[in-house]
Amino acid sequence: MATTIQPIPSEPGELGERELRAWRGLLRVHATLSKALDAELEAEHDLPLTSYEVLMYVADAEGERMRMCDLAESILLSRSGLTRLIDRLERDGLVCRTTCSSDARGSFACLTPAGRAKLNAARATHLAGVRRLFLQHFGPEEQELLASFWERVLPGAAPKR
């Protein structure tokens, strides 16, 4: 299989140039942007990115509260990781836990006024960051295309809201 230049997917034992750039680019973009967005949020609002995500999902949920397990799934964290994260947010007064009346095992995380205020302050920073570092580079139809790409890779995993 003598690939003269590199027209085809290259040998099966190695990624071709094109594949490499498509895949590694994803890794680099994710790593770089996550780090930058986290640093920005932390610098301007003293709020780690994961904490921001919790506040955001909770704020957007029905009644400004979410079950622990749903939250864990939304922000892609293990349940134990989420327990600890909510511990920290509760300690800082940004969320509080309430019991679930229909299932005594469950807890809700809900926003406190301080949490809502923190989120409102941080939201603009984060959204501006996402736009400036990422979305800005793509036109509407390109964004749509990207979304369809992700849908191919993970069918049905699109965020509901």
Residue 55 has a CB neighbour count (10 Å cut-off) of: 23
Contact 10, 3 (CB under 8 A): yes
Q: Out of 87, 142, 144, 151, point to the residue binding DNA (CB under 7 A).
A: 87
Note whether 91 binds DNA by CB under 7 A: no
Distance in Å, CB of 66 to its own copies, minimum: 16
Note whether 22 binds DNA by CB under 7 A: no
Sequence-distant (6+) residues with CB within 8 A of 1 are: 11
Amino acid in position 139: G
Distance in Å, CB of 102 to its own copies, minimum: 29
Q: What is the footprint of its own copies within residues 78-137 (CB under 8 A)?
A: 123-124, 127, 130-131, 133-135, 137
Residue closer to its own copies (CB basis): 113 or 140: 140
Helix then strand then coil, in percent of the chain rounded to 5, is: 65, 10, 30
Burial class (CB in 10 A: 0-12, 13-18, 19+), 26: exposed
Contact 68, 82 (CB under 8 A): yes
Q: Out of 84, 87, 114, 150, point to the residue binding its own copies (CB under 8 A).
A: 150
Sequence-distant (6+) residues with CB within 8 A of 78 are: 72
Site size toward DNA (CB under 7 A) is 27
Task: List contacts with DNA (CB under 7 A).
Answer: 48, 50, 67-69, 72, 76-88, 97, 100, 103-108
Residues in contact with its own copies by CB under 8 A are 2-3, 5-7, 9, 12-15, 18-34, 76, 123-124, 127, 130-131, 133-135, 137-144, 146-147, 149-154, 157-159, 161
